[in-house]
Amino acid sequence: MPKIIYRQADGREDAVEVPLGWSLMEAAIQNDIAGIVAECGGGCACATCHVYVGQGSKVELPEIGDMEGDMLECTSAERRDSSRLSCQLRMTAELDGLVVDIPETQT
C-alpha cells in the first residue's frame, strides 16, 4: 500500500499507509496525525486540513479547483505556492512516499 509522510512543524514525521482513493485528510484523521483538524469533515469548507506539499517533489497533483482556491485564502498559516487542502488530494500510486508538511496552526 502506498505511503504518505506527514511532517510536523517540529520535524517529527509519521509515515502512514493510505488506501488508494482515500483523501490525505482521511488518512491523517484515521491515523491520529496531529495538526489536521478537518472541522468540515472533508467538504472543502474550512481550510483546517491545510498542508504544504512535497517541496521539490516531481509528483503531478491535480489542479487547485475554485472552491479549494477560495478556501486556501482562509488558512490561518501562511499560504504558499505548495499549499493544498489535504481533503482535496486523493491517494494514487504515484503519490507513494510524498511528504506533506503540516503548518504550525490550522485555526
Structure confidence by residue, pLDDT tens digits, 17-61: 999 999 999 999 999 999 999 999 999 999 999 999 977 677 889
* C-alpha count within 13 angstroms, C-beta hemisphere, residue 88: 25
pTM metric for this prediction: 0.94
pLDDT tens for each residue of 70-79: 999 999 999 9
The b/e string for 42-81 (b: 16+ C-beta within 10 A; e otherwise) is bebebbbbbbbbbeeeeeebeeeeeebeebbeebebeeee
pLDDT tens for each residue of 49-70: 999 997 767 788 999 999 999 9
Do the beta carbons of residue 90 and residue 2 sit within 8 Å? no
Which of these CATH numbers, 3.20.10.10, 3.40.50.11540, 3.10.20.30, 2.40.160.40, describes 3-101? Answer: 3.10.20.30
